[in-house]
Structure 1
Amino acid sequence: MKQVHIFIAFFRSGILGFGGGPSAIPLVQHEVVRVYKWMNDDEFGDVLALANALPGPINTKMAGYIGWRVGGFMGMLNAIFATVVPTVALMILFLALLSAYKDKPWVAGMSQAVLPVAGVLMGILTWEFIQKSNQSLGWIYSLLLVIASFLAMQLFGVHPAIVIAVLLIVALSARSKKKSSVNKQEERS
């Protein structure tokens, strides 16, 4: 039954995530975190950051890792298959329709509507991650990291993968410091 759930989760996000990886990320998060509860928001954030740092389509990388984590090797293949098949089928269908009706105004309007929708979905996901980071790091530290990341990428041209890797290291070191302080407090008790 687990393999069926893996397929359903990634098929739904694959078929509804028109517009590429950024539009599918909130859908994957909904399926993985809220519907099936295979991981929490923090773990999903780590998977998202790792997938952003690696080359290739983000949705496929996330599907492969989450599928492997939940269902082993077969889960990985199942999740990748469920992610890729809707994309390939919809691309063939939409390209055929777009080329047949490319001169119609409704086609141009539909194509232009994808960007704002993907932008809103990414904005919601970003806001949720900022709220989660506030709970673990606090507003000041979170805001400093956001500003530093923005400046590094925009002013100094640092590649986003490098920024993500540095942020992962900072987050992991902060988490390990927090765990060690909790362990010391438990030992004292």
Structure 2
Amino acid sequence: MISPKLFLSFFKIGLFSFGGGLAMLPFIQEELIKNRGWINPKEFIDMLAISQVTPGPIAINSATFLGFNINGVLGSAIATISVILPSFLILITIAHFLERFKNSKYVEWIFSGIRPIVLSLIASALYLVGKESILDIKGAIIAIAIFYLVGIKKISPIVGIIGAGITGILIY
């Protein structure tokens, strides 16, 4: 009986998450950890790590990973389909009406209002992940250094991940 609940949970996450996978993380935390109790914060951090290093969008990777943890292969398929279904339906609807409203100031206002919300959702995800995964000053220094190197100095994120992993192994 978990399949309909799994579908509804991930459909809701997909429906109300604007701004991509990172903006989706607070919704996943709220729905799967707090509301459903299907995963714990440590599993959430594991999901995030695996979703980030696996090719593909983080939202789909997260849904696939969590669905599998919750209900095996069937859960994986249900979570993946249900998290992308709202976007698919919304895009089909928007495409139908786009020509009529593409120059509307109201549409422009809506997207201008959504941008700060997406930024705040990503900041919330950053706080959530940092709170659960940065446990001491050494971890904070590694996180800040990688943020600086990837965000400011523009090194490859892959190099940053590998570098952080090697540094973590050496320090810990």
Q: Please tell me whether the aligned partners of residues 10 and 82 of structure 1 are also in contact (alpha carbons under 8 angstroms).
A: yes
Look up the equivalent residue of 2:26 and give its one-letter code: P
Residues 23 and 125, structure 2, Cα contact 8 Å, conserved in 1: no
Equivalent positions of 1:129-144 (< 5 A) are 129-134=129-134, 137-138=135-136, 140-144=137-141
Q: Which moved more, 1:124-133 or 1:155-164?
A: 155-164
- Map 1:13-32 → 2, pairs under 5 A: 13-32=13-32
Q: Provide the aligned C-alpha RMSD in A.
A: 2.3
TM-superposed CA distance for 1:18, in Å, is 2.7
CA drift at 1:166: 4.8
CA contact (8 A) 2:63 2:79 kept: yes
Match in the other structure for 1:187 = none
Give distance in 1, aligned partners of 2:147 and 2:50: 18
Q: Of 149, 153, 167, which aligns to 2:150?
A: 153
Which residue does 2:38 correspond to in 1? 38
Deviations, residues 102-132 of structure 1 (Å, cap 9, x unaligned)? 2221111112222211110111121122223
Structure 1 range deviating more: 71-80 or 52-61: 52-61
Instruction: Give yes or no for contact 1:53–1:165 (8 Å, CA) kept in 2.
Output: no
Matches of 1:167 and 1:38, distance apart in 2: 29
Residue 114 of structure 2: aligned partner: 114
Structure 2: gaps (5+ residues):
none
- Cα offsets for 1:57-80 (capped at 9, x unmatched): 211111111111111111111111
**In the alignment, which residue of structure 2 is the partner of 1:180?**
none
Residues 136-158 of structure 1 deviation map (CA, whole Å, 9 limit, x = unaligned): x22x2232022211232145533
Which stretch of the first structure deviates more once superposed, 64-73 or 38-47? Answer: 38-47
1-structure distance, mates of 2:142, 2:64: 29
How far residue 168 of structure 1 moved from its aligned partner, in angstroms, is 5.6
Distance 2:162 2:72 in 1: 26
